[in-house]
Structure 1
Amino acid sequence: MAVQTDCKSVTKEIKALQLHDKPAAVGMVKEPLGMDNITLNIAITGESGSGKSTFVNAFRGVSVDDVGAAPTGVKETTIEVTPYPHPNYPNVILWDLPGVGTPNFPSDKYLERVAFEKFDFFIIIAAAQFKENDVKLAQEIQRMEKKFYFVRSKTDDDIRAEKRKKSDFNEEETLTKIRDDCVQGLRGLGIESPQVFLVSSFELHLYNFSLLQQTLDRDLPAHKRDALLCAMPNFNPEIIRKKKQALKSRIKYWATLSAAGAAVPVPGLSIDVDLAMLVDVVTEYVFAFGLDIQSLKRLSARTGVPYADLRAVIISPLAAVEINIHLLIKVIVRLGSVAALMAAEEVSRWIPFIGIPIAMGLSFTTTYRILNLFLDKLADDAHGVFERALV
């Protein structure tokens, strides 16, 4: 699916270039990137007080005090189906659903009331044991051929409580007992071979959130998998590595588009196309790694690590700034050899007969090198920020 979409996009852009339609060509590369066009609807449900809203905020990388955060409290705070778009990826939407079995959302009418068909999958959350309503909901979701996942929230509270009570406390044994109790309870209510993910919404890097991400990665179609991956918070080094891998897989597509721009002998067209494309792609990298200013400020608020400290570990000049053409030109000029390749491309296109193929090859190589270099540096910064904030 992704390969077919990329091929169609390149074909459209090449046609615009062949028509010498400079505004159209530049406009096309500035359209939203592929994953930004993919809608992913995630339903978060469970009984009232289970921690749904807190989980929604954690998944989106926001604190309860941030604008647009889901309200939380000891009582049921969700009284209607409420969408919470991801701050950087608005097409990735977490839907905070009212508790199962509340007066306005009885269990037997629940899926009908929440319009289940629009959701890609359901996360069923419980703060202790899963109840009969949770199981009825799971069975109905399964009957309607949707995916669901059991998440046991507030695991950190249980660990702290057990640690206070026992002098011979063992965290792994406690986690195993919590999980086994949930699994046995679900089996007793009719769920065969249930998988339960233990999660702390305040410390996603602990317990089973990583396993939940891996399971979603396995179950989702490829195009939605990448959208979810980029929207995920950087809760461990592995997720940063996966993001880098997914973003790197599209670099050849962008380099091919750059080569198409070099094929047309219109003064300045290739550079304009390249710079417009690079602004969008590099901005995507910054957002995916959570290195934009707002993401870093939200991370600071969640972890208590001062923003200045997070900013201090960043080395790339492309992080924690607004990406624009003037900034990219400055950075590229500093690269020396890459800037020389760009200059050579402009000169070579005017060589009779062989000039255009040479320019296309140089344009492909230059864009490929630039994006790989920028991606490597930003991934390194994401690792540095993670270590400063959470390790």
Structure 2
Amino acid sequence: LILHYMFTNPNLNKKLESKNKIIKQIKSRIQATLKEAKLKDVADIIEESLVAAENAPLDVAVIGESGTGKSSFINALRGLSYEEEGSASVGVVETTKKRMPYQHPKYPNVTFWDLPGTGTPNFQPHEYLERVEFATYDFFIIISSSRFSLNDASLAKSIKKIGKKFYFVRTKVDNDLYNEEKCKPTSFKRERVLQQIRDNCLANLSHIGVPEPCVFLVSNFDLDDFDFPTLEETLLKELPVHKRYTFALLLPNLSDASIEMKRALLKEKIWLDALKSSALSFIPFMACFNGFDFPQQEKCLKHYQSHFGLDEKSLKGIAEKLSMSLEDIRSFTKSLNFRFLMQDNNIGDKAMKCAECYCSVNGGLPSTIFQFFKTYFLHLKFINTVADDAKILLNKTLEKNVCPLDKSIAPY
């Protein structure tokens, strides 16, 4: 009844779709299944959609002339220094001879493709597109470290012809700022120099035939600075729904805004978790076996921690950069204490627990309502607590001028 109401009430249905793009995609399938009263099938549809959203493949092509910093850009997005195992090769000479796939260490369904530099003796424009299998990527990032060239314009036009998105990224702006300040210490103004770089790129792209170009200025060593957060927001707005969720999860915590993006997307997912749990709990005793136990919920919390960079490996790296122990970090964060988040101390909570047990045994509508709201609010608590902790750690790293990513000095 509760599921039927949610998917047939026009006002509520419209509100759900506006807030949850995944629900919008599977609404018709759930409605058809509800008419046949197959609650187990509803749960299966929801689980299928959750798995599909989290495991949607994403292939990102990074292209540009040799020496522009493509490999360093890929390493930065993957949270790896150039010396770590599995990182893209970086050097002062052409290091990419053929297209190279690099999986994200946490999300293996996401692949960054380091494509050979254009305009070198190894790859001429007339044969480049065919050799790198152009049509297989979801979107393209065209990188330059100085002026965008005719080769870049040719690539952009070819990408547009096949109906794919492309984004111009100007790297090494931190290096440009350093050189400008060193040469002109008295007249140097950061924002003015950045605007000059941007205007130069835009004028150059317009001159070589790119209509309405948009350029993002970035540093491969400081993704939290310059235009990278804006690039994040642009990609999330323009990617298809099933790709957007995947891309948002892999993004590093560069700002409060990027953490809020993840929080919002994960909140969409808990509606489906709650619906799945409530559909199964209609059957007597099913809620008892539906995974709503401590180990299952602890696994869920760890899942959210991983998405926000609070998994054990990430925390060790952050603790090292902050010159703290893991115990120090635990002292001012809340999400790392699972027992604390789950404890029910007051009489009201204990009474609700008894009522829940009674409803679970008997099934029916009361059990459905209990499980829906319990799952929703518990997972909401998990997400909010983890996201708030991620902000605390981000601000502490920024206070010490340390990026959460490894900023080991590396060649561009």
Asked whether 1:388 is paired with 2:408, we answer no
1:1-391 equivalent positions in 2, closer than 5 A? 2-3=22-23, 17=40, 33-166=51-184, 167-266=186-285, 269-272=288-291, 278=297, 281-297=300-316, 304-306=321-323, 308=325, 311-312=329-330, 315-318=333-336, 331-334=341-344, 341-350=352-361, 356-391=364-399
Return the offset for 1:95.
0.8
Kept after mapping to 2: 8 A contact 1:63/1:298: no
Kept after mapping to 1: 8 A contact 2:56/2:242: yes
Q: After superposition, what is the alpha-carbon deviation per residue over 1:104-152, rounded to whole angstroms, capped at 9, x for unaligned?
A: 3221111211111110111011111111211111111112221111100
- Unaligned stretches of 5+ residues in structure 2: 1-20, 400-412
Kept after mapping to 2: 8 A contact 1:156/1:200: yes
**Structure 1 CA distance for aligned equivalents of residues 225 and 202 of structure 2:** 20
Q: After superposition, what is the alpha-carbon deviation per residue over 1:260-286, rounded to whole angstroms, capped at 9, x for unaligned?
A: 232111366445356676455433321
**Structure 2 CA distance for aligned equivalents of residues 59 and 191 of structure 1:** 26
Amino acid at match of 1:149: Y
**Structure 2 CA distance for aligned equivalents of residues 35 and 335 of structure 1:** 36
Tell me: CA distance 1:348–1:279, structure 2 relative to 1, closer, same or farther (3 Å).
same
Alignment-derived partner of residue 405 in structure 2: none
**Structure 1 CA distance for aligned equivalents of residues 303 and 317 of structure 2:** 18
Return the offset for 1:193.
2.2
- Unaligned stretches of 5+ residues in structure 1: 19-24, 320-326
Give % identity: 36
Kept after mapping to 2: 8 A contact 1:313/1:385: no
Amino acid at match of 1:79: K
Tell me: CA distance 1:334–1:61, structure 2 relative to 1, closer, same or farther (3 Å).
farther
Kept after mapping to 1: 8 A contact 2:50/2:272: no
Amino acid at match of 1:247: L
**Structure 2 CA distance for aligned equivalents of residues 250 and 268 of structure 1:** 20
Tell me: CA distance 1:9–1:68, structure 2 relative to 1, closer, same or farther (3 Å).
farther
User: Cα RMSD between the aligned structures?
Assistant: 3.1
Return the offset for 1:316.
2.6
Amino acid at match of 2:118: V
Tell me: CA distance 1:339–1:384, structure 2 relative to 1, closer, same or farther (3 Å).
farther
Q: Secondary structure at the match of 2:375?
A: helix
Tell me: CA distance 1:338–1:46, structure 2 relative to 1, closer, same or farther (3 Å).
farther
Q: After superposition, what is the alpha-carbon deviation per residue over 1:61-105, rounded to whole angstroms, capped at 9, x for unaligned?
A: 222222211121111221221111112111121111110123332
Return the offset for 1:178.
0.6
Kept after mapping to 2: 8 A contact 1:342/1:363: no
**Structure 1 CA distance for aligned equivalents of residues 198 and 305 of structure 2:** 37
Kept after mapping to 2: 8 A contact 1:258/1:270: no
Kept after mapping to 2: 8 A contact 1:342/1:366: no
Tell me: CA distance 1:291–1:30, structure 2 relative to 1, closer, same or farther (3 Å).
farther
**Structure 1 CA distance for aligned equivalents of residues 294 and 206 of structure 2:** 57
Amino acid at match of 2:388: D
**Structure 1 CA distance for aligned equivalents of residues 231 and 152 of structure 2:** 18
Q: After superposition, what is the alpha-carbon deviation per residue over 1:328-379, rounded to whole angstroms, capped at 9, x for unaligned?
A: 7x7423566656534421213445xxx6221221111111111111111101
Return the offset for 1:32.
6.8
Q: How does the TM-score come out when normalised to structure 1?
A: 0.85
Return the offset for 1:383.
0.1
**Structure 1 CA distance for aligned equivalents of residues 208 and 365 of structure 2:** 67
Return the offset for 1:216.
1.1
Return the offset for 1:314.
5.4
Amino acid at match of 2:152: D
Q: Secondary structure at the match of 1:50?
A: coil
- The number of residue pairs the alignment matches comes to 372
Tell me: CA distance 1:365–1:125, structure 2 relative to 1, closer, same or farther (3 Å).
same
